[in-house]
Every structure is written in C-alpha cells, then in structure tokens.
DNA sequence: TTGTCTCCCTACGGGAGACAA
DNA sequence: TTGTCTCCCGTAGGGAGACAA
C-alpha cells in the first residue's frame, strides 16, 4: 500500500482484467526463454528429473509404450494373458529400437505451470550397431551438454519453500525465510523503520508478478504482501505446494512452482500439449520407426515413471546383468497412491511378456514375486533395468558380495538409517522413508563430497567391475534377447572404494525432504579460510585455488544437464580437487531449500555472515549439480542413497576427520572411490582399446578457459570418466531403476 | 437473504467449490436433453439460424471447404492465383457433392455456452440424380421436421433480454421486465410486502442456477438478486449480452445466453469440440466422399458464413439463375470486423476459380467488382448462390423491375428508413443499419402476415414460377459445371405485389433489434375482439376462428424448424387466413423480447391486460416461426427486409387501413404478393408438368388436424406452396445469399 | 526464525429505495 | 416501466504486530 503497484486478484480463464499486473515479457512470448527458464524448468521439475541429452542414444521399447498408452501397464495381472496382445494393432517393430535423441524441448503447461519436455527421437539402430563395440562406454560417458542448456548461464541464487497454511491463507502474505530473502532479493534499506520494495519476478511463461517485499514485525521478518495472494489465487496454490525463486546474475527474479499434487480440474495434459489421443501416438511412433523418421515422446516429471525409453547405457547394463530364477532383487517401486517405497522380491521366471508379437523383448521379461504381497496391484513382471540384484543371492552376482572393508565400514555406522560412507557394492538404501521424500521430487542437495582425498586401495573397485557381465552387447537390435554372460571388465578387481560422508543425520534427512538451506550469500572464496583449511587437511577434501576451476565445478548449465556427467566427473585435476571448500553450516530445519551455485565474484569464506562457515566440497555441488547425478547415465542418486552422511557436522567441520573414509590422502575420489588411484595404479579394460577421451574434455576446459588449465587436465578427466563409467555399472541401484520418467500422454 | 439458498461466486476452471449451487440435472449429463434444450438451443442460436433438416439434401463443395480450412477464403486476392491450388492436397473429389444430412446434433460449448451443431453428411449423388426431375421441388418444400425437434413440444413462454450495465454491475441484480416475469416466472404472492421466491433455471448443459426473484422497489419491479451475480460472473456476461429464459409447460425454467461478442480467451473451438486440426478435417471429408461414408461438418452460428454447404434447392436455383458479365447484383456481405452490410456490384467475369483441380466448379465462379471498393479485402469472387441479380440489369431479370404500383408504394413512404409495405420485386433493403441488427442475430419477430385472407387472383405467382429456369438441373453431380443459361424468368414483369404492413416504424425498428416485446400472457382468443375485427376488415388480415388453426400457425416445433416451410406457407385455408388476429399493442421500446407461441388454453383477446390489444396475424407468427422464413429454402428475411413496416400503428390498428398495400382487397397475400391472384390468372410452368403437390400439405393438415379443416384446405395449401416455391426462387436476396452458415472449425 | 493468530481497517459488493428517463 | 444511482451494511481479505513453537 505504500505506493507500490498493487496486484489485484484477477479472474480466471485468460480474460485478463488487470493487464498491468501480469505482463508478458516481450522477449519470451510463449516458449521458454533460453537461459533463465532452463534453470527454472529444471528447478521446477525437481532434481530427480533427468533427461537424456540431445544426441544421446536411448532404447525405445514399443511394447512398453503401447502398454502405457493402452493403460495396460497396471500390472499385477495374470502374466499369462499376454498383455495387450489382443488388440489388432500393428506391431511390426522390433522390441528394442535404438533411437537418437535429436531434440529436447522444454515446456510448461499454460494453465498449471507444470513442466514437461518433448523428446524427439529418431530410430538409429544401424549406426549404433556399427559403433557399438567402441561406442559403448563412450556413450555412457559422453559429456555433451543437454540441448538448450546455455553454456554461458551464470550464477544464480535460488530458494524453494513449501507453502504453509499461512502462506496460502487469504489473510496474509508469504513469509520469506530470512536467508532466502537476503540471498535472492535485492537488499532492503534496513535503516528505514519498515523497509519495503517491489519485487518483479517472471514465471515460466515470462509473465511478470509483482510483490511487495517488506521487512517488518517483531521480531523482524521478510514478507511478501501485496501481490502475493493474487499469485496464489491465480496459480491456484495450496498449502504444501512449493514456490521457488531464482535470481539471475542480472538480478532478474524468476518464479517457479512445484505442486504437491497435480492440479485437478485442469485441461487434460494431452489436450494442453496438442497431443493426439493415445492410440494415435503409438501408431505415429510405429510409422516413424518404420520410416526412420522422427517421433516424439512426452516427458512429464509428475507422471509415474515408465521405462519404455531407457538410456542406452542402462539398457546395455541390464543386458549384461544376469538375472536367474531364484535370484533376489530389490527395486524401488512407486505406487500410484502411496508414497514411494523400496521393495524386494524374488525372480520367479524369465520369459517374454508377449512371445507372439515381441519375441525376445526384454520388456517385463522377468517374472517376480515381491516380498510384501500385501500390496496388491504390484506388477509381477519387471524389466531388467528396473531392478538390481539384492543381498542374499542364489545366483552368481558379485555385486551382492561386499568386500570385507565395506562390510566393516557399513557396520561402523551406528545409525542404520545413515549408513557410513563408502557403503558397499550392493548398497542398502537404509530407511526407505528418506528416499520416499527424495523420490517425491523434493530437492536433494549436493551431498557429494566428490573426492575424499585419500588414495587408498581400490582393488574393490575393479573387483566389482570385473563382475559386471557384458553379454548381450551384441543383442542390440535383437529381436531375441539373450541371457547375459559374465565378463570381467577390469583386470584389477581391488580398486579402492572409499565413501565420503554426508552431513550429520538430521540434516541429511531434511535435505532429502528438499527443505534444507544451504546458506551462503556468495560462493566460495578463492582463498581458504581457517575452517576450510582445516577441512582440507583433516577430511581430505580439497579447496579451490582459482575461481576458474570453481567455475568448472559449479557451472550452472551443468547443473541443469541431468543425465550427463557433471563436470566433476568428466575429469578432474587433482590439484583442483584438493581445494574443495568445506561445507557451510546448516541452518535449522525448515521448508526452505536454497541453491547456491557458482559465483562470479568469489568471496572469502569468512566474509559475509560469519555464522555460516564455508561449506564443504560435497555441498558445493549443489542441488542443481546433484541432479546431474540422478541422470540416466550415472544414477548417482543411488550412490547418494547408499552413502551415509558424513559424520562431520556442519557446525563443526572438524568432524569430517572422524569420517572413516576420509583417510587424509589426496587422491581423486568419487563417493569414496578413489578414481585417481584407479587410473594410476591400474589400467582399465575398456573393450579392446583405451578409452577415447570424452568429447567434453575440451569443452570443459574451454568453459573454465583459464590459461592455467593445461590440456593434461582433459586427459586426466578422460581417465576419470572411464573410471566413472565403471562406477556407473555398479550403480544399478534403485535410483537407476527408473532412470527416465518418460511418458506419452 | 431471506432464507433463500444463496449462490456464491465460484471459482473458475471447473473446480466447483460450491456444489450446491449449480447442480447438473441427473437426466441430462452432458448432451442436450431432447425437448426443452432443443428450443433453448434455437433460442440461443438466434432466429436467423437455419439448419437443414435431417434427411434433406445439401450440396457440399469441397473446394470451399478446403479454402475455409486453409484460411484461403479471405478473398480479395488476385483471382488468377488460383487460390489454394498450390497445395499438394489430393482433391479427387467432384466439385459438387450431393449429400444427405443424416444427422444433426446440437451442442453447446462447455466453457462459453456457445451453441453449435454437428451435421453428419453422407454423399448421396446417385440417388439424387435419379430422383431429380421429380424431387426437385419436393425437396424444397419438404416439410419434414428438423431432426430432433419434438413434434410434441409444448407451449413455452420465454423472453430474451439484453443485459444492461446495471444488470451486469457488481452492485445489483437483474432487472426483470415485468411482463417477462409475469409470463415466465411462477407468480409471486403479491399480497406480501416484499414478495420473493427462488427460481431454479437450467442452462444448456443442464446446470441449475438459482436466483432469488423479488418484487420490490418503488415503483415495484421484478428483480433477480441473489445468485444473479454468480451467474454473470460464471458465464462471464457483460453488458450487451443477452439472457433468455424459457419456461416449459411443466414450469421448468431454462436459461440461455446469447453473447454480443464471442467470448475471448476461451478454448479454441476446435479443441473444445474435439475437432481435429484443419487439414485433417478436409481429408477425412475427402475420404468419406470417396467411400460414400459419413462425414461431419460443424455449424457455428457465430462464425462467418461459409457457403460450402448449400441447400439443395438453393443450389438448384443458382444453377438456374443466369449470371452474365455486366450483370449487376446485390448481396449481403458480412464483414469480419464491421457490421453486416449489404453490397452491390457488377459481375465482371465467369470462370473457374481452380480450373486445374475443380474444373467446372460453381464455387466462387463469378468474378465481381463491388460498388464500394473502399472496403478492401472483400472477395472479388462469389458463388452464384451468394448473390442475386440487382436493380438495373443489363440482363433480363424480371425481379429487378419493380411494378409501377410498387414504385408508387415505395415512394409513398415518408420515412426512407421504413419503406412502405409492399416493397417491390427488386426490393431495397432501405437503411442498412436496421438489417445490421437483424443479422447480428438479434431476435426478429414474426412480422409475416401470412395471407391477407382474400382468395384473389394468383396469376402473378404462377408467372413467377414460370420464370424459374431449369437449366443446370442435369449438372447435379457434375464434375464440370455448366454456366447457367440465360433465361427470362418472368414473362410479366409487372405482376402485382401487394405488401402487407409491418408495425409502425419505430416498433419495426425495435423488433429488428430483437428487443421487441410481444406481450400477451396467453395466446390469442378463439373469438375476435373488436380491434381484431377491425383489423380483419381494415388491413385485410384474417383472424382466427379456432385454436386449432392457430396451432398451425404457432406450432412451436415449427418455430424451431428453420429452413422449412412454415406451416403458414405450406398451405392455407383462406377461411383460416381471414382469421388472423390483429397485432397486439406494442409495449414501449425495450431490450426484451418475448416469445409467445401456441397456447393450449385460448383466451379472449380482450382478456388479460386490456392495455395490450390483440396482435395482428403478422405478429402471431412470432419470432420462432419467423425464423423459418430465414431458413435455407425461403429466405424470407429478404422479403422482410424489403418490406416496409405497415403504417398501421399498434396503438391504433386502424392505421392499417392507411397502408397503401392494404387496399381493402381480400386476396391471399404474402408480403404484398398476392398469392391467390397469381395462382388464378396464370399457369405455372414447372418443367414439363404441373407442380406436384408438396408433401407437406397432408402433413400440415394433419398437424392442424381439426376436423373443421377440410381436405380442400390441403389443396389450397398445395397451391400456395407452389406459389411460395416460386417466391422462393424470387428471393435470392441478401438473406438468401448465405443461407447456411456452415463452417468446419 | 517463522508459523499462526488476532486485530484493524478498507474495499467490494449485495440489497434496498430514490429518482429519472 | 425500468435503468441507474446512492445509501447501507455485511463480509472478505489484506496488513500489521503479538505470540509461541
């Protein structure tokens, strides 16, 4: 009311009665503007959303597609009925169609702001088959950027808050968490008795929203008042939904929504997306496959994952895996109604789901019996890439055999909910409720302390690697799938695998709910403060020495490129890796999540608010970067879940020293796996030849285009990537199980 | 507030928060309920809306269809560019496809309440060609009911009011015109100090709306208060929109909307109607034609008329008409932006619009130059059925030659805006603004005094009939259409044309705006009152003697069967015709239109409110019946427009005597054309044989199945119908030009 | 630090008669 | 007869500090 242009509640249905309030940005009429909105899109989609990158290869399973389109994927039915075979649909397509992702378009529903993506696929099997032997791992490691992700995107500050009842009530405004306001909003003139300003934020559609931002009350707090209720009403926000603010480097505010539940009563998605009815979608796909032309699938982060589009690497891995009757497995099944749960079961059969139409299809080729039969309606058929072998196995899967070291580490964890760092080769997710939260799409912050600095033994690593079967590699375009054969990929099975810690348990818990604050007004200093130095020496995490390297680490565009190797994994100069800062102090539990990415103007850690010590390297990855880890190729979320939080408390970084995995060595590590040592001491066997350097190496170098970065960094990177690919094979964890949440609406 | 269940303003987008307010009628879940909603549909569509009846034959012009779908109908382009021929669309369909209307489904947009109809067409050329020689006129006169129109539909009372600013303001309710309230709403207990009641009305979707109806104020007036603003908000009504209430015989209230302008910001119609995109619509039509299977076109009363579906009869007539270069014509062109205007022009060329793809097509085969070139964007090509020969003709079109009498009559009109009754054979529309209103879909009440009671000569009629060219009759299913041959339509250009009066000018004006009240709480008495008798003698209009005849006139189902011959024209017993009542006094100008159709309980004209004298026959037709005249076969609106209002003032029926056209003769007349006289003195030349009696004659007789109606009435009717069919041929007036407003969305 | 509550106050809008076209 | 105005009044809801978790 103090001179600020007030927003009024507008009527619905597009009859804008108050044109002055919401103004469409002239430069972004209807599609998403390239840079900021990409970040916003991913922020709204949630960190678990991974998209294949443009140019990557996926496996399209028409059988699964058809089942989903015909609503026949409910599962739990008699497996003998053959699924949707009764229908007179032409299905003269192979069961596995290799496709190249030629385009990815990010969209947001006009009515609901719900984000979705359209993937354009082109059948591409011949080329793939030719390239297979060499391209296999390369493909998994290909660090190309996700399409559309701006490489020049810049530092952003953002926060995400789940709306409270007060936030959505008609009577008040929006209570802005203090640090969020300080970090994302322009500073107020606190000298005034009741400082206030007008904020203008653009949503995904480029529509401007104006809010009065005031700092008042006793005690003082930040509030959005005028304009807020209009926004709530217009977006039909309810308590439980989350809003996120994102500040670009230019100071421009972006505003996103993540709803707790899909907005009811809206236009059906298929209509809103101009999608033809279901049967047509499939037939068009079939036609496109026959003519090797492009077809489209829609990706909705909200809908139940469907695995009829599988990342190439994951599919390869599932082919390599040997699943035999009697083998126990575990997976993560997302029920339609209940929260996500982790389930285990027993493989009771292996066979085609539709022998007549798609013989040899891997789609739902495994018959399983779940341990908890109480929950009916669960599918008794799964696809190989949906599951992973579990603990006590009758079959011969070495993944289930933890090394003695790991077992010891795991046992050292007093809290079963938070397994000790390092985990084991067949990791346990611990208490499932945590993952529940994670899988609901709440934020997961980067708790990956990339490397713990120890160059300890890595035989375990190669050992596990050796166990990965690679049979089925030649079944690529197969109409008949073979059972996987065992193959030893690594000659040195004892690669070290040191885990790194998460934060202290409660914090970890909160973060998994997406409510954690990662406070830091400015990114991390070029020079290390005391606590950082302490971390470097004690916990073995490295600090940064130059902002250019930091930029490599935090490159925000990477933070949006789910399904890709995050820069940290593409290759890492050990020098750089030793300089990761220590984690910042974690604020009290709240429903606010803050993202902190790269800073253009590095600051001393002690600068700003000294109450918040610099964060450690793991945190530096940030939620956005962490979402990379949940991508298709490296489902690092699995690692994440397996990891125990680091014993180091944020309030006392010295606790890092107590981490069993932080042995003080300075080797390059990833989640406790010492990558550098693996590279140094052992040679990796990558299918008949040295690993080809990832394409991205130069790119990353160029990105962090400091002349100080030698070309050798790229080579190191390449080796690291190779190791990571081995890691990837180890990571067929529940997070990997549903790597892509594709759905054709 | 007095115990009535209040409606609250609900939120939009279907998230019904107040379920109690709007309740979906259990028996009409989503489609229109048969009886009441049919009337409501037509009421909402407006009286100018004419649909072909089920089973009738139309001509489908794929060329026009395609042009509309591809947005190529804007016209005004260089005619040499050939239109949309550049596109690679298959067009192996004949230019004229005769189709039978196998189904008509009435719909209403969920979001906007906008009414539309879906027509199901089946190509039917062979049958037609066989039946042509005999079926030609029969088809035109076929009095079958419009599909779905219940023949048992009963008396309804309805009114339509254009909303005022007060009606739509947030501050008040809806001011109900007194007579409307008394006629349509249940009576209030006027003994109370402030009588009120709750009204429940269902809209087109069956949704119930509740309103508090109160009678208060000083002076007293009827108001809808509580619930009204909710309705206004929900329907997004604005000042200028019209609401109509319709009371069924069961007392059930129906509620419709007729918007002044299409609701902006709504869902595109094509989406709302589940219609595939444009190109698909055409190809499906093409396929259906090839396979002689059904296809659908959508009819939207709001959209710009498109003539790619033409009534069979009209098409035939256009084939018979001779259009030659240099001939002047007139038409009614509805501009996209401006109001509807009448235009004249000169035919400058005759030739195929797309010689390569549709040689011989009549579609836009006439090149024209408009008289007023100022308005750009006008199509310089028209189809023959869009125009009519106009005044000064180089060709030999008798229609353009006014009789001396008519000229005299026209001159006798002091007010050029309201030409005297009778008009002339080549009528002038007079001031176009009036017709603007009519064509905007506002109500047009029945000003047709069907027959003036005299059984006088009808030579003029047969003369006109004789003039009907029959060339082109054998071009029916032609892929190559022949140019129509020139032929002298009338041998006696000076046939008498006696007009009958409309109301007094201002009233006429109001009615053309659709705002006239035709007050009468109950239909018209069996016995004539004084004024009625006065009218009968003076103006030559007949009064009714029995309610059964009256029922013929007012049959409500007829009022919904646009595009058919109204019963009055199917055949009329002169005895009956002499008994048409005189017009009731017209109330003061208002924005209310009341419909009064057949009454089950006849009342004395002097009964009820004596301030409102009985109406004359012309008014008795009522708007609903009048809409028949605007149908495809007889676009009587043209006549109507041509007619001058009767000089007889409603307040003084004796003025009828002053009408130059009501010269006291007692001949059977239609809009000044003495039908009986025409029929008697001249023989009709109908293509090698006497005119076959229209099918409708018996039917009408049966409809007015009073035993008092002798069979001779049917014969007389037949003759009248024949005459009318000749009239029809004469009536290729602007109203005829766009007889069907078909559009494929 | 922030969610919720209560108080205060304004604006909106519904209902009524007044008044005039 | 009815469109508009103005008055009256109830209520929704926005903004503020109080208070407590």
Angstroms from A148 CA to nearest CA on chain B: 29
pLDDT band at B373 (very low <50, low <70, confident <90, very high): low
Instruction: Spell out which residues of B between 536 and 595 contact strand D, using CB within 7 Å.
Output: 588, 590-592
Instruction: Find the closest chain A residue to B237 by CA distance.
Output: A15
Pairing type for strands B115-123 and B97-108 reads antiparallel
**B406-432: string of b/e by CB count within 10 Å (b at 16+)?**
beebbebbeeeebbbbbbbbbbbbbeb
Give the count of Cβ contacts less than 8 A between chain A and B.
30
A121 contacts A57 by C-beta, under 8 angstroms: no
CA–CA–CA angle A202, A208, A211 (5° rounding): 95
Cis, bond preceding A219 (omega within 30 deg of 0) = yes
**How close A471 comes to chain B (CA, Å)?**
47
Q: What are phi and psi of B24, to 5 degrees?
A: -80, 130
Quick one: A505 exposed, middle or buried, by C-beta within 10 A (0-12, 13-18, 19+)? Answer: middle
Cβ partners under 8 Å of residue B533, min gap 6: B543
Best interface-test mutation with B: which of A8, A9, A10, A15 has the largest number of B CBs within 10 A?
Answer: A15
pLDDT of B288 higher than 50: yes
Of residues B309, B332, B323, the one with CA closest to residue B351:
B323
Q: Is residue A377 assigned to a domain?
A: yes
Give the tens place of pLDDT for each residue, B599-634: 333 333 333 333 333 333 333 223 332 233 222 222
Cβ-contact A500, A661 below 8 angstroms: yes
Please give the Cα distance from B148 to B156 (Å, whole number): 17
Per-residue pLDDT at B175:
95
| Residue ranges of chain B whose CB lies within 8 Å of a chain A CB | 11-15, 111, 233, 236, 263-267, 271
Task: Look at residues A740, A519, A569 and name the one whose alpha carbon lies nearest to residue A671.
Answer: A569
Q: Is B23 exposed, middle or buried (0-12, 13-18, 19+ CB in 10 A)?
A: middle
Among chain A residues, CA nearest to B276: A276
Closest by CA to B508, choosing from B447, B440, B456, B574, is B447
Evaluate whether residue B166 is within a structural domain: no
Distance from CA of B111 to the nearest CA of A (A): 9
State the pairing for strand pair A253-258/A196-202: parallel
* The predicted structure's pLDDT at residue B223: 95
pTM above 0.80, yes or no: no
Which residue numbers in chain A have pLDDT < 50?
1-31, 33, 73-88, 133-155, 266-278, 333-340, 392-591, 595-745
Contact residues for B130 (Cβ-Cβ < 8 A; gap 6+): none
pLDDT above 90: residue B198: yes
Give residues lining strand C (CB < 7 Å).
A 164-167, 171-172, 175, 177-180, 217, 219-222, 588, 590-592; B 1-2, 6, 9, 170-173, 194, 212, 214, 216-219, 223, 225-226, 228-229
Beta strand extents in A371-492 (DSSP E only): 381-382, 387-389
**Domain membership of residue A326 as a residue range:** 321-391
Two tokens at B230?
A: 């909710």
Would you say residue A381 lies in a domain? Answer: yes
Q: What is the pLDDT of residues B418-472, one digit of tens each?
A: 222 222 222 222 222 222 233 233 333 322 222 223 333 333 332 222 222 222 3
How far apart are the C-alpha atoms of A464 and A406, rounded to whole Å? 12
- Per DSSP, the residues of A705-739 read --TTS-HHHHHHHHHHHHHHHHHHHHT-SHHHHS-
Separation in Å: D9 C1' and B270 CA: 47
Structure tokens at A677: 């040592």
Least confident of A727-741, B307-321, B335-349: A727-741
User: What is the rounded CA–CA span in Å between residue A214 and residue A192?
Assistant: 11
Contact at CB, A266 and B111, closer than 8 angstroms: no
For residue B265, give the nearest of A15, A267, A271 by CB distance. Answer: A15
Neighbours of B619 (CB within 10 A): 31
Cβ of A55 near strand D (under 7 Å)? The reply is no
CA distance, residue B274 to nearest chain A CA (Å): 9
pLDDT tens sequence across B127-136: 555 555 444 4
Q: What is the CA A233 to C1' C14 distance in angstroms?
A: 23
CA of A172 to C1' of D18 (A): 15
Min Cα–Cα distance to chain A from B341, Å: 30
Structure tokens at B717: 């009717």
Residue ranges of E strands in A564-686: 578-579, 592-596, 669-670, 673-674
Q: Provide the pLDDT for residue A592.
A: 55
B266: nearest CB among A11, A13, A111: A13
Model confidence at B365: pLDDT above 70: yes
**Domain contains B167:** no
Q: Do residues B75 and B377 lie in contact, with contact meaning Cβ atoms separated by under 8 Å?
A: yes
- Contacts of residue B464, Cβ cutoff 8 Å, sequence gap at least 6: B489, B490, B495, B678, B723, B726, B727, B729, B730
Contact B15 A236 (CB under 8 A): yes
Residue B463 lies in a domain: no
Query: If DSSP codes are grouped into helix, strand and coil, which group holds residue B188?
Result: coil
Among protein residues, the one whose C-alpha sits closest to the C1' atom of D5 is B166
In a domain, A583, yes or no: no
Task: Report ipTM (2 d.p.).
Answer: 0.51
For helices A312-320 and A125-141, the axis angle rounded to 10 degrees is 90
* CB-CB neighbours of B104 under 10 Å: 20
Which residue in B396, B397, B422 sits closest to B407, CA to CA?
A: B422
- Which residue shows structure tokens 């053959």? A82
Taking the C1' atom of every nucleotide in all shown strands and the CA of A9, the nearest one is D13
Task: Provide, in whole angstroms, the distance separating residue B217's CA from nucleotide C16's C1'.
Answer: 8
| Alpha-carbon gap, residue B547 to B706, rounded angstroms | 9
Which residues make beta-bridge pairs with B579? Answer: B543
Instruction: Establish if A490 belongs to a structural domain.
Output: no
In whole angstroms, D11 C1' to B209 CA is 23
A194 nearest nt, CA–C1': D16
CA angle (A337 as vertex; A334, A343 as ends), nearest 5: 35
> From the Cβ of A523, is strand D under 7 Å away?
no
- Determine the Cα–Cα distance for residues A271 and A275; give it in Å rounded to an integer: 6
Only one residue has tokens 């004024």, namely: B531
Contact A254, A34 (CB under 8 A): no
Chain B residues with CB-CB distance to A16 below 8 A: 265
Nearest to A12 among B12, B264, B271 (CB): B12
Q: Write the CB contacts of B516 (distance below 8 Å, at least 6 apart in sequence).
A: B443, B445, B507, B510, B586, B589, B590, B593
Cα B144 to Cα B398: distance, rounded to the nearest angstrom? 32
A482 vs B248: CA distance, rounded Å: 73
Residue B29, judged by CB atoms within 10 A of its CB (0-12, 13-18, 19+), counts as exposed
A-interface mutation test, from B265, B269, B278, B280, most A Cβ less than 10 A away: B265
Distance CA B324, CA B71 (A): 29
Helices A711-730 and A125-141: crossing angle, nearest 10°?
110
Mean pLDDT of B168-195: 92
For chain A, the 3-state helix, strand and coil shares in percent, each to the nearest 5, are 30, 15, 50
Residues of chain A with C-beta less than 8 angstroms from the C-beta of B111 = 13
Tokens of B41: 């549909």
Nearest CB to B12: which of A13, A16, A264? A13
Check which CATH number belongs to the domain holding A330 and give it: 2.30.30.1040
Contact B13 A265 (CB under 8 A): yes
- Would you say the C-beta of A192 is within 7 Å of strand D? no
Helix (DSSP H) and strand (DSSP E) numbers for chain B: 25, 22
Number of domains observed in the structure of chain B: 1
CA A166 to C1' C4 (Å) is 7
Structure tokens at A359: 């013989």
Residue A487: predicted pLDDT: 29
Confidence label for B298 from pLDDT (cuts 50, 70 and 90):
confident
Nearest-by-CA chain A residue for B11: A12
Q: Is B9 exposed, middle or buried (0-12, 13-18, 19+ CB in 10 A)?
A: middle
Cα B137 to Cα A607, B142, B677, B724, distances in angstroms: 96, 8, 21, 11
Q: What are phi and psi of A377, to 5 degrees?
A: 80, -5
User: How distant is C1' of C18 from CA of B240, in Å?
Assistant: 26
**Is B15–A264 a contact, with Cβ atoms under 8 angstroms apart?**
yes
- Whether B267 maps to a domain, the answer reads no
In angstroms, the Cα distances linking B688 to A683, B22, B134, B614 are 104, 62, 11, 46
Of B13, B236, B271, the CB nearest to A15: B236
CB A106 within 8 A of CB A148: yes
Q: How far apart are CA B149 and CA B557, in angstroms?
A: 6
Three-state SS sequence of B259-300 = CCCCCCCCCCHHHHCCCCCHHHHHHHHHHHHHHCCCEEEEEC
Asked if pLDDT for residue B164 goes beyond 80, the answer is yes
Q: Which nucleotides of D are covered by protein (CB under 7 A)?
A: 1-7, 12-20
**Residue B222 predicted with pLDDT over 80:** yes
- Strand D–CB A171 distance below 7 A: yes
Please give the structure tokens belonging to residue A285.
């796909």
Beta bridge partners of B213: B197, B224
Q: What is the pLDDT of residue A185?
A: 93
Give B264 to chain A, closest Cα distance, Å.
7
Structure token digits, residue A270: 């298929």
How far away is chain B from the Cα of A644, in angstroms, using its nearest Cα?
45
Q: What is the pLDDT of residue A130?
A: 53
**How many Å from the CA of B307 to C1' of D1?**
44
Phi, psi of B625 (to 5 degrees): -65, -35
- For residue A661, give Cα distances in angstroms to A230, A414, A578, A673: 51, 15, 15, 10
Residue of A nearest to B274 (CA): A271
């Amino acid at each position: 009311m103090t001179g600020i242009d007030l927003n009024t509640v507008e009527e619905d249905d597009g009859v804008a009665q108050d044109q002055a309030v919401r103004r469409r940005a002239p430069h972004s009429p209807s599609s998403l503007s390239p840079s900021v909105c990409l970040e916003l899109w991913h922020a709204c989609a949630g960190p678990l959303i991974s998209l294949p990158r443009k140019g990557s290869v996926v496996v399209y399973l028409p059988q699964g597609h058809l089942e989903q389109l015909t609503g026949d994927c409910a599962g739990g039915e008699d497996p003998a009925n053959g699924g949707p075979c009764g229908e007179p649909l032409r299905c003269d397509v192979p069961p596995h169609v290799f496709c190249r992702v030629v385009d990815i378009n990010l969209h947001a529903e006009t009515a609901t702001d719900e984000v979705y993506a359209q993937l354009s696929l082109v059948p591409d099997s011949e080329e793939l088959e030719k390239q297979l032997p060499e391209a296999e791992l390369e493909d998994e490691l290909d660090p190309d950027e996700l399409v559309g992700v701006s490489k020049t995107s810049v530092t952003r500050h953002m926060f995400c808050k789940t709306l409270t009842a007060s936030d959505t009530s008609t009577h008040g405004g929006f209570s802005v968490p203090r640090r969020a306001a300080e970090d994302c909003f322009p500073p107020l003139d606190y000298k005034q008795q009741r400082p206030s300003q007008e904020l203008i934020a653009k949503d995904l559609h480029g529509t401007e929203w104006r809010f009065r931002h005031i700092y008042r009350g006793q005690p003082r707090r930040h509030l959005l008042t005028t304009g807020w209720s209009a926004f709530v009403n217009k977006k039909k926000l309810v308590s439980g939904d989350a809003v996120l603010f994102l500040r670009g480097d230019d100071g421009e505010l972006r505003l996103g929504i993540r709803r707790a539940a899909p907005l009811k009563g809206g236009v059906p998605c298929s209509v809103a997306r101009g999608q033809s009815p279901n049967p047509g979608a499939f037939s068009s796909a079939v036609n496109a496959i026959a003519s090797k032309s492009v077809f489209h699938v829609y990706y909705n982060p909200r809908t139940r994952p469907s695995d009829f589009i599988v990342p190439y690497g994951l599919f390869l891995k599932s082919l390599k895996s040997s699943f035999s009757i009697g083998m126990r497995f575990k997976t993560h099944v997302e029920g339609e109604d209940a929260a996500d749960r982790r389930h285990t079961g027993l493989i009771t059969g292996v066979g085609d789901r539709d022998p007549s139409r798609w013989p040899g299809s891997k789609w739902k080729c495994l018959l399983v019996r779940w341990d908890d039969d109480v929950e009916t309606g669960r599918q008794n058929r799964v696809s190989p890439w949906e599951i992973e072998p579990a603990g006590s196995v009758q079959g011969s899967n070495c993944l289930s055999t933890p090394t003695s070291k790991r077992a010891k580490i795991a046992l050292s964890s007093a809290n079963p909910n938070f397994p000790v760092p390092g985990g084991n080769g067949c990791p346990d997710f611990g208490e499932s409720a945590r993952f529940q939260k994670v899988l609901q799409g709440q934020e997961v912050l980067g708790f990956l302390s990339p490397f713990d600095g120890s160059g300890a033994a890595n035989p375990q690593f190669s050992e596990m690697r050796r166990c990965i079967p690679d049979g089925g590699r030649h079944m690529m375009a197969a109409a008949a799938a073979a059972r996987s054969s065992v193959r030893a990929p690594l000659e040195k099975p004892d690669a070290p695998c040191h885990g790194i810690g998460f934060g202290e348990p409660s914090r970890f818990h909160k973060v998994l709910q997406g409510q954690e604050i990662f406070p830091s007004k400015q990114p991390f200093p070029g020079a290390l403060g005391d606590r950082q130095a302490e971390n470097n020496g004690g916990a073995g995490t490295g600090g940064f020495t130059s902002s250019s390297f930091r930029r490599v680490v935090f490159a925000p565009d990477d933070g949006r490129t789910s399904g890709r190797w995050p820069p940290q994994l593409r290759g890492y100069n050990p020098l750089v890796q030793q300089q990761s800062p220590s984690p910042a102090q974690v604020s009290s539990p709240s429903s606010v999540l803050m993202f902190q990415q790269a800073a253009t103007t590095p600051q001393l850690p002690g600068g700003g608010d000294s109450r918040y010590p610099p964060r450690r390297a793991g945190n530096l990855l940030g939620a956005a970067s962490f979402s990379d880890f949940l991508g298709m190729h490296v489902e690092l979320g699995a690692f994440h879940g397996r990891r125990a939080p680091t014993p180091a408390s944020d309030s006392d970084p010295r606790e890092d020293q107590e981490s069993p995995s932080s042995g003080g060595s300075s080797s390059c590590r990833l989640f406790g796996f010492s990558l550098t040592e693996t590279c140094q001491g052992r040679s990796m066997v990558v299918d008949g030849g040295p690993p080809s350097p990832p394409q991205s190496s130069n790119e990353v170098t160029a990105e962090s285009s400091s002349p100080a970065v030698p070309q050798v960094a790229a080579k190191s990177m390449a080796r690291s990537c190779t190791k990571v690919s081995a890691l990837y094979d180890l990571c067929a964890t529940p997070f990997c199980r549903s790597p892509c949440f594709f759905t054709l609406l």
